[in-house]
Every structure is written in C-alpha cells, then in structure tokens.
Chain A
Amino acid sequence: MKSFTYERVTDPRTACAAAAARPDSRFISGGTNLIDLMRLEIERPAHLIDVSRLPLTAIEELPQGQLRIGASARNSDTAANPIVRTRYPVLSEALLAGASGQLRNKASVGGNLLQRTRCHYFYDTASDCNKRQAGAGCAALHGANRNHAILGATESCIATHPSDMAVALTALGATMSLLSPESTTRTVPIGEFYRLPGTTPHVENNLAANELITAVTVPPPPSGRQRYRKVRDRASYEFALVSVAVILATEADTITDARVAFGGVAHMPWRSTEAEAALTGRPAIPSTYQAAADIAMESAVGRGENDFKIDLARNTLRRTLADVAAMTDRRPS
C-alpha cells in the first residue's frame, strides 16, 4: 500500500473543503472496498479524509412522507431500521442479501453506492483493464466473463456494478443529495447518477470533483408489494449473477403499477421501463410476466461464458413477478 496522510473531519462542509484542498485525496467511510483497492494499489490516494464520523447517520421520515437516509448510516442499521423494514422491505432485503454481517456493520450507504466493480480483471493488475487504465483494453471481453454484463456494455468494458442496495433504490426512485465545496447541495435521481461504460469506463458516475454524498432520499413507497431476489453461485455472501427488485400493485388481477430493476447485469443498476410498461394494465398471469421478461432482455448480449445470464435474468424476473403477485393477492396493500 502506498503511503498516505490522514485526517478526520466532523462536518460535511469541512470534508468537501478538505477534498478540494487535496486533489490526490479520497474520502473513506467504511473502507470495506477502498482498503482492498489500496492494498492492491489500484487506488493510490496520497491523502485520506475520514468521513465515517460525520453526523449523517440519521434515518428519518420527512414531512411529505419520504425517507431520508444519511450517507454515513451503516448498511446493517439501514437494513434493520423499522421504517425501512415495514415501508421499504425491498431495500432491507437487498441490503441483507449483500456481503456479510461483519461488512454490513462497517459499510456505509454512501460508500456502498460508490463501490467499484468486482470484475476479476479490474483487480488483477497484470491484466488489461480500461477501467483501471484508460486505453489498456478489456481482458474480460474474451476472458472469464461468467459474472459480466449483458446489458449496456461496450467493447471497452463489460464489468457490472456490484451493489444490491443500489438496485432496490433504483426501483424505489431514490434521489441522492450531493454537497459541493461551494456548500451547495444538488439532488440527482439515482437513475441519472450512474453511467454506462461507453468508451470511458473509468468514469462510473456523475459525481463532480470533491462532491460528497450526504443523503439518499426515497419517495413514499409506491403502492404494491416489494421483493428483492438475488441469484448467485453461493447461497450467501456472494455477489449477484442476476438480481431483481420488483414492486407490483394489482387490482382484481390486473397490474396497476410495476417497478422493475435488475442487478448484476450492467455497469449500473438497470431499471427496465420497458418491462414496467409491458406489465402495467395487463392481467397478472404468467404470459404477462413472460412478455415483460422477454422485452426486458430484448437488447441483451452475451459474451460467451455469461450467455446463460440472459435466460437467468428472464426466469428470475418471471418467477419474482409471480411470487410478488401472489403476495399482493394474499395481503392487499
């Protein structure tokens, strides 16, 4: 690990100012991804700004019914929060499907959103990786790409975004609060925060230089039942091959509202407005779910070892929709 200097900040404005003063710095909160990357010298900050003790841990309901989750809230606290568990169970389920108990006790909401891909070639510094070194090429393209993207990928990069939480937040339509060194806060919908790889896979999101994520705000829960389903190579403590966050409302066996977001399939959480449109107003029956699954994967491209993920994603969505429809029938919202 490269040598670095360290400072701890206690208010968000100081954090942004500190980052602006040190262009070679990184914020550190839980550190569960960054420290690994620093050990491998994929991240080489000369200065760390410790934001883990910022007073941004509150999870509170706002007057208009939204839920504001501070960026420093731990993944475990967010998953266990009574409001999250009862009003946004898809978020609690997504958090609990990720990592281990020990890591969830360290990882923060802000850090979770900014974690890097787990593409093996990104971590293997002997391999070509455009994300690690712009212009180097992509070893995954014709390599071991079982875990890689099937949607929105390019010849430059087929890595996936590893967060489960971000998939649930995408289905819920969350917005992020970003504080700048000029002390202004802008809000960005999570759907506009992440970037597809294009030809610049090293640029993963639209966070500006020295901006700090201070909170995530989730709108009042949409009507319907929620479910996060994750399919992976191990039953626990493993990243997704495919995951799906579904929110489905039905009335008299007709779907009145649908939200669909996939994880493990793209460079960012993948909301499928096409699948949502194919569900809304249609009868809650298997052929509707199949049609939604087919349209969701219409533009999917396999790269060899990950070809199976296209069918896996279809089947995961189809099955999850059927499960959630059954839940809705049993316990109308």
Chain B
Amino acid sequence: MTAESDLNTRLSEHKDAGDPAYSVALTVNGRPYRLTVDPRTSLLDLLREHVQLTGTKKGCDHGQCGACTVLVNGRRITSCLTLAVMHDGDDIVTIEGLGSPDALHPLQAAFIERDAFQCGYCTPGQICSAVGMLAEADAGWPSHVTADVGTEQVELTPTEIRERMSGNICRCAAYPNIIAAIRDVSEGTAQ
C-alpha cells in the first residue's frame, strides 16, 4: 500500500458516511492528479495531505501569514484560504516545482546566498510569493507605495519589495536578507 492510498484509506475511515465528496483534477508541478476530496478540503491540505507535497507550509490557516503561498495559473495566492474543489483544471506550482537541490530556482539560490532565513518555515511561501510578485512587477502592476499608480514602469526599490511582500510574515525577522535576495534576482545580479 502506498503512503497516498494508505492516507486516503485512513481519511475515508474517519469520514461520516453522509459527507459529500467531489472529484478534482488538477496539475501540480507539471504532474496531473485526480483526487476525491471532501469539499471542506483547502488547497493547502490537498497539497500536503493528499499529494504529499509538504514543502508548502501551514502557518495561520487564515490567509494572514503567507506560509502557504503557491502559484495557481501563475498567480500567487494563499492556498489555505481556498477550497481544493474550486481548483478543478488549475495548474499549481509549489516550492517543489520551482527547483530541485541540483537545479535551484534563482530565488532559492539567492535566499541561500543571502542567508534569507533562520528557521526556514516561511521560506517556501516567501519564495513562491516572490516569484509571483516579480511577475506582477514585470507586468507593470503598481503597489500601495508607487507614487503614481498611472506609471507604466515600476522600479523595484527596497520599499516597493517590502510593500509587495507584506503578505509574507517571517517570525525570525529575516526581512533585510529576504529583501536583498529578491533584489539580487530582480536586478539580475544573483549568482
């Protein structure tokens, strides 16, 4: 029995007989999955408990800390605050899909280079959020600290990065190094 089917068996044993279940098909890190879930299952719990990808972390489970940030169809969202069943057909990328130990994503490498973490619990969410944030800035999206929201070009200053990353909390307060790592990548100076 695989770990996945073992877990599904245990989950089904704990379910009330009358609880509804729904089929959801989605792609996670390029791999297609079809799973049957209770509609209460968050996307975060689907990733961690059903797909067994535990890189995505559960912090507050209320969308406030950002530890569970993943990319859905290229956009960063908090996976705790969305139902798995609502993501049928979606393309999910988690920290495991960004890079591997042998081929790190530039942001993963920059976080190591800049020592942008202590305990590391928020790091997968920080990195997935930064990937989404850099794409938003590339698309010219303004932020709360952009002086003129009508501007067509955004310069990712430290102030801009701090504002745009404010949805990711770091309990160890590694913020200065997180900003530095993201700046290295945004300015193309990462090793």
Using CB atoms and an 8 Å cutoff, list the residues of chain A in contact with chain B: 1, 3-6, 8, 28, 30-32, 35-36, 39, 48, 50, 52, 76, 79-80, 85-86, 89, 92-93, 96-97, 99-103, 105-106, 235-237
A97 touches B129 (CB 8 A): no
B39 — which chain A residues lie within 8 A by C-beta?
4-6, 48
Contact of A31 with B82 at beta-carbon distance under 8 Å, contacts A100-B66, A102-B63 already known: yes
Could you give 16 example pairs across A and B, Cβ below 8 Å? A3-B19, A31-B83, A36-B63, A50-B85, A76-B75, A76-B141, A79-B141, A79-B142, A80-B141, A86-B150, A89-B149, A102-B77, A102-B132, A106-B78, A237-B166, A237-B167
* CB neighbors of A among B1-43 (8 A): 16, 18-20, 22, 38-40, 42
Which 8 pairs of residues, A with B, have the shortest CB-CB distance?
A100-B167, A236-B166, A6-B39, A237-B166, A80-B141, A92-B149, A96-B144, A105-B75
B167 touches A96 (CB 8 A): no
A50 to B139, CA, bound (A): 28
B133 touches A101 (CB 8 A): yes
By the criterion of a CB under 8 Å from any partner CB, how many residues of chain B are at the interface? 45
Taking a contact as CB atoms closer than 8 A, the residue among B18, B66, B139 that contacts A80 in the complex is B139
The residue of chain B having its C-beta at the shortest distance from the C-beta of A3 within the complex is: B19
Given contacts A96-B144, A103-B63, 4 further A-B contacts (CB under 8 A): A5-B20, A31-B83, A35-B81, A97-B144
Instruction: Produce 1/0 per residue, B110-148, CB < 8 A to A.
Output: 000000000000000000010011001001111110101
Contact of A80 with B81 at beta-carbon distance under 8 Å, contacts A3-B19, A36-B63, A101-B129 already known: no
The residue of chain B having its C-beta at the shortest distance from the C-beta of A96 within the complex is: B144
B82 touches A6 (CB 8 A): no
A232 to B53, CA, bound (A): 37
The residue of chain A having its C-beta at the shortest distance from the C-beta of B85 within the complex is: A6
The residue of chain B having its C-beta at the shortest distance from the C-beta of A87 within the complex is: B150
B20 — which chain A residues lie within 8 A by C-beta?
3-6
* CB neighbors of A among B31-83 (8 A): 38-40, 42, 61-63, 66, 69, 75-78, 81-83
A89 — which chain B residues lie within 8 A by C-beta?
148-150
Closest Cβ of chain A to B94, distance in Å, is 14
A216 to B142, CA, bound (A): 22
B144 touches A32 (CB 8 A): no
**Most chain B CB within a 10 A radius of its CB, from A97, A102, A235:** A102
B81 touches A103 (CB 8 A): yes
